[in-house]
């Protein structure tokens, strides 16, 4: 979607046509008009039906051509065969956007796919923003605009929601009704033939009526655009998403469902990490977080205070806390003294504050007031169990009062069900989020905190290295001209050098004399490696000798290695590479990238050797990388302590590793023809890093780059 | 608790006295009598109150002494000061068990603790089984016996439940009311001064009315007894538990709540793994699993079939599946053909079966029938979203019918809320578990499968090694006589040899001549290590030389090492140990145990070197270990692939490692005076394993062993 004004027409329509409007109750063309009317939409509504004069009391037009020019949005409820011709006619009267509720397109296979492509072509030509096809419609609270294709009315509120699955969307409306969850927008994306999640996120980011953005998607259309849009949005407001099909089984189900190729999960996870989107696993968690974000202020820090009338529930809250990024607030002496003044002597005055099961609502209120005013407390979590001593509605009032007064996030947990109905109603009206388990409440507060931290991050700085790309281009062209699909080691090293990467001193020696000379120049000890474009795994065939300390040994190694290689028939042997050895105390790491068809170049980092293979201990981010990205990548692997140094070892030079990663990102951006690239090993040491071996796989220029 | 018959009196009382029965409504002594009456208890009830002639229509006794001899159970509702004297009088008339609802004991600190200890002493003397103090009472559905201290009536059913937290127990009763959750027993443990979780599990295991055992505890009283009881129980029926205070924060909260020292989390986790208890993190998950176990049969395998009218929900189910031990059933050709007969052509005929949002209840019924009869399907998961095309109650009936006919576990997921009320009611009556998210349903079915697998396990075989314990005892006595708190290396080796453990050939050499002679006997290459009881970390002070290949080198190394050691003032140097080197291709592992004060010896295993330190990649189990235990321990570490061999390496000898672990377990059992023991490194290789170094720390005989 390029034309932003047409997207605006779709999401904020001042006039709407319903093409295929129907007089028959239950038909989609009837439901849409009925929804528009009962929502109280103030814009002009034009039902279009060749045979009806009026629909639900509104005058109907018999043909599209009778529409005034430039209607903002047309909802199309016609069989798929009629879609393309209808769009053509709508384009003719200058309609700016459409929402297509018809089904039977890409989701049903090849035949539907052609109908969809035809429609897309017409939209492109007329610059029409199309939602769907197979959309269940859309809703905008501010405009009192309900064009859903099912008889359902979302509650108004500040949650902007979009969903790729219409049926899940409907289930969500049913599940959230009456629970204090209100929507600013409710958008069923359908097949995303034109308008997709990226467009919606861009719009909702600037929508003043939307405080939280929520989304359910099964695939992401354009990874790089999505990443940029999401990065911008999360600096404005929280974005919470489910990306299903995260697992191989799920992705298989996803492909059969919407006929979309699911992006690789690694790349997808990288997008979420890099963009600050809060990724959740299920619908309950999504709305648990949404209600907290939609009502609560940003916390000033990670300190939480639990106030409970059940010791057991307090322990469950403490357990949940440790699995989060929050901490139990240390209460200041004044607060503890205050609590001691009115709590029983065997209550717990420290966090979690256990006011005991025999406490009444007044005691609850006092304990909440005492803890809420403690500057060491950033968030409040009252955990309440039914008790014959406390009126739960009164407790709820006390919580609501604190929430409105203290300007700190409050999430309430009420255990039980029947006994807590009244209390929950009080909190719902007061706009305080409530949960039925301490874990859920903690998870919600944790999300508030993490989002607040995210917004404090400095803006990502993308580094652009000044480098000799001409020289690198030259190496690549030559290799391609000779028909190589990979670069030989010394060619690879030339690319690295062009980018100013630290490489070991390396000389190609064609004879043992040259090798001896090279070793002398470089300085002992040296390594010797076979040079042949056909031999990728050098050590497997005995093509590598390390730590050679004398001229005699260099000569012997040269003969050995080239002899062994000459036995491999298809290998063209150019000689041997003589190379400087990494300093002692080096730790082996690796870095590389591969191009994901949906998301672009995914840069990976990990410890070298067996760790990667066995532990899959790898971090990854999409290029282009920022300084923050590489800092996180290096530190989030599990084996990070080995880099920091154990048993008194000095740490490696992290800056040097980060430089390598940034350069790798730059290479990925500069040369789309490199489809895969491996720096392995990189010897990281306290004084720097050496890229000892590099491997480039060339391919055709991949599209999208 | 020793006297099993008295426990029976407590949990299955034929007669009950209420001591402190009251005429005042709302008082505990009144609530208990009212509960007993309204539940319809058929046994004899004796209210005891010095001033009342009748309570709630039942004749009251004025004194305990008026009770007939040998009443099964007395519920005591009196202030704490009166507890011990009351128990004394109850003992006098042969009361077999008591439930103490009074509070103010251990949970309030030192003073309460003394009252509690006094009560325990009286119970011991009279052999009275005491539940509590600070118990909220107990309930037995079969006897229609409700002696809860709060006005609450659990629904009857087949879930046997016990809880250490009374308030959580009450919240649970409130939360589960009307949700198809029924209890055979509901037991509030209180302070567990006499009767504890182990007693209850033992009893519920044999209780025919109990199909599932559920428990909430904050600490475990006697780890070894609990482990044995749980191991026996889980072979009869599922045991699902929350052990809170699992985290440092939680444990701190737990200690202040019940004044009980929380066991170390590692040991606790080991108990759960070894006993087959299904450990859950929260109340919702506990009851989600319980309803499935209480109503569904055992699955015949891990294959699940998802039938849904929402593609999106199907993907969420598939995503959840991959995080479980279940798999998507491959449907057989016949089933797919059958589905094709009545589903739309663009439905998904493969698992997840997407019958499309336009399907009605009849189509749902047919799809369920078709998939349920497929022998490749072991479990059925219908995932339903509200739709204007399908009557959800009819869908629920179809699910209920399949569940009753197919003899396979069925768990239903209904997304939404208001629209699904009727459907949920149908399922509740039909005894089919239902969930509001696919993840919850999958987790429940997964638990059914894992429990079925657990029950198929062969009985644990405890291995008792024939070993020369006399010789080991001798070594230990001598070390202790000389005042050592640790064993020196050669002493440690003697213990290993006594147990027949594979150790490298090792000779203690006091002079360099002896060292040279020893090396000759053992065969080169050898290792040389300093021998001094005061030097624990030999390599840190340069006390280890590896891979020595000649006599000259042995002599030189001996002088170097002993010289270096002589500079450590407090070190008494006995000479050096000359040792056989491990074969090439060995992988370093470690094993050891330490005694947990609550659970006894905890045996640990992991890869040696940096892995343990950095990755905390350790498995652990409580001794005594079974063959199954050690098999699991070796395989559940993340670095297991390194032992199995990567890049063409042969696997290590797993039997040899398992033997070492079993022997370690035996040593832990045989010698309670060894408080900590480390075998590190153990060199595991394809032909066996060598325990190269061992470290024993001696202490006083710890209690409980």
Give the tens place of pLDDT for each residue, A340-394: 999 998 899 989 999 999 899 999 999 999 999 999 999 999 999 998 889 999 9
Residue A518 clears pLDDT 50, i.e. is over it: yes
Say what the pLDDT of residue B658 is: 95
Torsion angle of alpha carbons A409, A413, A417, A422, nearest 10°?
A: -40
Distance CA A314, CA A308 (A): 6
| Least confident interval from B446-450, B517-521, B621-625, B698-702 | B698-702
- The two tokens of residue A451 are 């989002």
Contact between chains at A170 and B437 (C-beta distance less than 8 A):
no
Give the tens place of pLDDT for each residue, B596-638: 888 899 999 998 877 667 778 899 999 999 988 999 999 999 8
Say what the pLDDT of residue B703 is: 39
**Nearest-CA distance B483 → chain A (Å):** 31
Give the tens place of pLDDT for each residue, A172-184: 999 988 888 899 9
Written as one string, the DSSP assignment of B249-314 is: HHHHHHHHHH--PPPPHHHHHHHHHHHT-EE-SSHHHHHHHHHHHHHPPPPSSSEEEEEES-HHHH
Say what the pLDDT of residue A354 is: 95
Say what the pLDDT of residue B704 is: 38
Contact between chains at A614 and B642 (C-beta distance less than 8 A):
yes
Q: What percent of chain A has pLDDT over 90?
A: 69
Residue linked to tokens 């995932």: B383
Q: What percent of chain B has pLDDT over 90?
A: 69
Contact between chains at B415 and A168 (C-beta distance less than 8 A):
yes
The pLDDT confidence band at residue B488, using thresholds 50, 70 and 90, is: confident
Distance CA B151, CA B28 (A): 9
Q: Is B626 helix (H, G, I), strand (E, B) or coil?
A: strand
Closest alpha carbon within chain B to A165: B312
Q: Is A338 helix (H, G, I), strand (E, B) or coil?
A: helix
The helix (H) or strand (E) run that includes residue A471 is: helix A469-481
The pLDDT confidence band at residue B535, using thresholds 50, 70 and 90, is: confident
Q: Is B16 helix (H, G, I), strand (E, B) or coil?
A: strand
Q: Do strands B526-531 and B575-580 pair parallel, antiparallel, or not at all (unpaired)?
A: antiparallel
Give the tens place of pLDDT for each residue, A127-137: 999 999 999 99
Q: Is A452 helix (H, G, I), strand (E, B) or coil?
A: helix
| Least confident interval from B129-138, B419-428, B483-492, B636-645 | B483-492
Give the mean model confidence (pLDDT) for residues B265-291: 92
Give the mean model confidence (pLDDT) for residues A415-442: 95
Say what the pLDDT of residue A534 is: 79
Residue linked to tokens 């790898």: A618
- The two tokens of residue B395 are 């869908």
Distance CA B16, CA B10 (A): 9
B700: left (phi over 0), alpha (psi -120 to 50) or beta: beta
Say what the pLDDT of residue A248 is: 67
Distance CA B7, CA B202 (A): 10
Written as one string, the DSSP assignment of B440-508 is: HHHHHHHHHHHHHHHHHSPPPPBP-----HHHHHHHHHHHHHTT-SB--HHHHHHHHHHTT-----EEE
The answer for residues whose C-beta is within 8 angstroms of residue B148's C-beta and 6 or more apart is: B31, B32, B35, B136, B137, B138, B139, B154, B186, B188
Q: Which residue has the higher pLDDT, B398 or B484?
A: B398
Query: Which residues does chain A have within 8 Å of residue B242's beta carbon, measured at their own beta carbons?
Result: 316
Distance CA A187, CA A163 (A): 6
**Nearest-CA distance A384 → chain B (Å):** 9
Residue A25 clears pLDDT 70, i.e. is over it: yes
Distance CA B436, CA B156 (A): 24
Distance CA B521, CA B502 (A): 18
Query: Which residues does chain B have within 8 Å of residue A615's beta carbon, measured at their own beta carbons?
Result: 615, 638-639
Residue B69 clears pLDDT 90, i.e. is over it: yes
Distance CA A315, CA A179 (A): 27
Contact B323, B397 (CB under 8 A): no
Out of A104, A247, A385, closest to residue B319 by CB:
A247
Contact between chains at A345 and B108 (C-beta distance less than 8 A):
yes
Contact between chains at A318 and B252 (C-beta distance less than 8 A):
yes
Distance CA B648, CA B248 (A): 43
Give the mean model confidence (pLDDT) for residues B387-415: 95
- The two tokens of residue B27 are 């008082």
Strands (E), A49-128: 54-55, 58-59, 73-76, 97-100
Give the tens place of pLDDT for each residue, A238-279: 999 999 986 666 666 665 554 444 457 888 889 999 999 999
- The two tokens of residue B463 are 């291995």
Query: Which residues does chain A have within 8 Å of residue B415's beta carbon, measured at their own beta carbons?
Result: 168, 171-172, 174-175, 283
Distance CA A552, CA A506 (A): 19
Out of A112, A174, A179, closest to residue B419 by CB:
A174
Strand partners, B622: B602
Give the mean model confidence (pLDDT) for residues A645-664: 91
**Nearest-CA distance B260 → chain A (Å):** 13
Strand partners, A575: A531
Q: Which of residues 592-631 of B touch A (CB under 8 A)?
A: 610, 613-615
Distance CA B623, CA B591 (A): 13
Contact B374, B331 (CB under 8 A): yes
Give the tens place of pLDDT for each residue, B311-331: 999 999 999 998 899 999 999
Predicted TM-score (pTM) of this structure: 0.90
Cis omega (within 30 of 0) for bond into A624:
yes
Residue A547 clears pLDDT 90, i.e. is over it: no
Say what the pLDDT of residue B251 is: 66
Maximum average pLDDT range among A105-119, B135-149, B618-632: B135-149
Closest alpha carbon within chain A to B173: A416
Distance CA B371, CA B363 (A): 12
Query: Which residues does chain A have within 8 Å of residue B614's beta carbon, measured at their own beta carbons?
Result: 638-639, 641-642, 646
Residue A469 clears pLDDT 90, i.e. is over it: no
Contact A415, A437 (CB under 8 A): yes
Query: Which residues does chain B have within 8 Å of residue A216's beta carbon, measured at their own beta carbons?
Result: 312
Q: Which of residues 23-82 of A touch B (CB under 8 A)?
A: 26
Residue A302 clears pLDDT 90, i.e. is over it: yes
Supply the angle between the helices B283-295 and B166-176 in degrees, to the nearest 10: 60
The pLDDT confidence band at residue B254, using thresholds 50, 70 and 90, is: low
- Show the DSSP H helices in A326-415 as ranges: 333-342, 361-372, 392-406
**Nearest-CA distance B438 → chain A (Å):** 9
Q: Which of residues 223-262 of A touch B (CB under 8 A)?
A: 242, 244-250, 252-254, 256-258
**Nearest-CA distance B393 → chain A (Å):** 16
Say what the pLDDT of residue B266 is: 85
Query: Which residues does chain B have within 8 Å of residue A614's beta carbon, measured at their own beta carbons?
Result: 638-639, 641-642, 646
Contact A131, A99 (CB under 8 A): yes
Give the mean model confidence (pLDDT) for residues B332-344: 96
Distance CA A703, CA A705 (A): 5
DSSP tag of A57: T
Say what the pLDDT of residue B9 is: 96
Average pLDDT, chain B: 91
Say what the pLDDT of residue B260 is: 47
| Least confident interval from A120-134, A408-422, A553-567 | A553-567
| Least confident interval from A39-53, A241-255, A299-313, B385-399 | A241-255
Say what the pLDDT of residue A110 is: 87
Residue B422 clears pLDDT 80, i.e. is over it: yes
Give the CA radius of gyration of chain A. Answer: 32
Q: What percent of chain B has pLDDT over 70?
A: 94
**Nearest-CA distance A482 → chain B (Å):** 33
Give the tens place of pLDDT for each residue, B168-200: 999 999 998 888 889 999 999 999 999 999 999
| Residue A150 at interface with chain B, using a CB cutoff of 8 Å | yes
Give the mean model confidence (pLDDT) for residues A400-421: 95
Say what the pLDDT of residue A524 is: 87
Q: Which of residues 535-574 of A touch B (CB under 8 A)?
A: none
Strands (E), A416-574: 434-435, 506-509, 526-531, 544-548
Residue B255 clears pLDDT 70, i.e. is over it: no
Distance CA B249, CA B233 (A): 31
Residue B489 clears pLDDT 80, i.e. is over it: no
Q: Which residue has the higher pLDDT, A427 or A180?
A: A427
Q: Which residue has the higher pLDDT, B111 or A159?
A: A159
Out of B246, B415, B642, closest to residue A171 by CB:
B415
Distance CA B291, CA B672 (A): 43
């Amino acid at each position: 979607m390029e034309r932003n004004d047409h997207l605006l027409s779709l999401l904020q329509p001042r006039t709407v046509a319903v093409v295929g409007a129907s007089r028959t109750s239950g038909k989609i063309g009837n439901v849409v008009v009925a929804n528009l009317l009962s929502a109280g939409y103030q814009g002009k509504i034009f039902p279009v039906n060749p045979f009806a004069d009026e629909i639900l009391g509104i005058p109907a037009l018999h043909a599209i051509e009778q529409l005034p020019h430039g209607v903002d949005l047309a909802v199309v409820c016609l069989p798929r065969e009629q879609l393309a011709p209808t769009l053509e006619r709508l384009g003719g009267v200058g309609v700016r956007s459409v929402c297509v509720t018809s089904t039977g397109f890409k989701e049903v296979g090849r035949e539907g796919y052609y109908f969809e492509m035809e429609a897309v072509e017409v939209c492109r030509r007329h610059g029409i923003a199309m939602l769907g096809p197979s959309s269940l419609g859309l809703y905008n609270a501010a405009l009192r605009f309900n064009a859903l294709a099912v008889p359902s009315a979302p509650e108004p509120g500040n949650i902007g929601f979009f969903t790729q699955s219409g049926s899940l969307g409907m289930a969500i409306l049913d599940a959230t009704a009456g629970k204090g969850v209100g929507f600013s927008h409710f958008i069923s994306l359908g097949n995303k033939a034109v308008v997709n999640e990226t467009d919606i996120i861009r719009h909702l980011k600037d929508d003043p009526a939307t405080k939280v953005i929520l989304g359910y998607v099964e695939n992401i259309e354009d990874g790089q655009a999505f990443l940029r849009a999401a990065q911008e949005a999360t600096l404005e407001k929280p974005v919470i998403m489910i990306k299903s099909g995260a697992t191989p089984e799920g992705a298989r189900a996803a492909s059969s469902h919407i006929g979309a190729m699911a992006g690789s999960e690694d790349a997808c996870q990288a997008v979420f990490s890099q963009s600050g989107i809060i990724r959740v696993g299920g619908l309950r968690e999504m709305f648990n977080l949404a209600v907290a974000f939609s009502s609560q202020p940003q916390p000033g820090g990670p300190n939480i205070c639990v106030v409970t009338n059940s010791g057991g529930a307090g322990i469950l809250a403490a357990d949940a806390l440790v699995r989060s990024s929050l901490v139990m607030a240390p209460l200041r002496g004044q607060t503890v003294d205050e609590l001691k003044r009115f709590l029983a002597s065997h209550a717990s005055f420290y966090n979690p504050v256990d006011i005991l099961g025999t406490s009444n609502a007044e005691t609850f209120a006092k304990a909440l007031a005492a803890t809420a005013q403690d500057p060491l407390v950033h968030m409040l979590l009252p955990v309440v169990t039914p008790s014959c001593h406390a009126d739960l509605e009164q407790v709820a009032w006390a919580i609501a009062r604190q929430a409105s007064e203290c300007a700190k996030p409050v999430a309430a947990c009420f255990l039980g069900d029947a006994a807590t109905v009244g209390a929950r109603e009080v909190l719902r009206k007061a706009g305080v989020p409530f949960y039925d388990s301490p874990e859920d409440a903690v998870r919600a507060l944790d999300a508030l905190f993490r989002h607040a931290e995210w917004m404090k991050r400095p803006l990502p700085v993308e580094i652009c290295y000044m480098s000799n790309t001409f020289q690198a281009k030259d190496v690549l062209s030559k290799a391609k001209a000779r028909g190589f699909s990979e670069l030989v080691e010394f060619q690879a090293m030339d690319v690295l050098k062009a980018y100013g990467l630290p490489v070991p001193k390396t000389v190609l020696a064609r004879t043992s004399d040259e090798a001896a000379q090279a070793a002398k120049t470089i300085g002992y000890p040296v390594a010797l490696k076979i040079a042949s474009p056909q031999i990728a795994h050098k050590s497997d065939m005995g093509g590598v000798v390390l730590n050679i300390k004398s001229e005699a040994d260099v000569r012997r190694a040269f003969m050995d290695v080239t002899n062994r290689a000459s036995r491999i028939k298809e290998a063209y042997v150019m000689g041997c590479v003589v190379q400087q050895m990494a300093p002692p105390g080096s730790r082996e790491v690796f870095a590389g990238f591969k191009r994901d068809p949906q998301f672009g170049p995914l840069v990976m980092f990990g410890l070298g050797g067996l760790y990667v293979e066995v532990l899959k201990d790898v971090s990854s981010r999409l290029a282009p990388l920022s300084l923050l990205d590489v800092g996180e990548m290096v530190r989030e692997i599990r084996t990070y302590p080995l880099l920091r140094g154990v048993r008194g070892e000095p740490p490696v030079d992290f800056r040097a590793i980060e430089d390598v990663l940034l350069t790798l990102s730059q290479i990925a951006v500069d040369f789309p023809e490199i489809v895969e690239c491996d720096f392995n090993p990189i010897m990281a040491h306290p004084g720097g890093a050496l890229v000892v071996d590099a491997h480039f796989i060339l391919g055709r220029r991949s599209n999208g780059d």
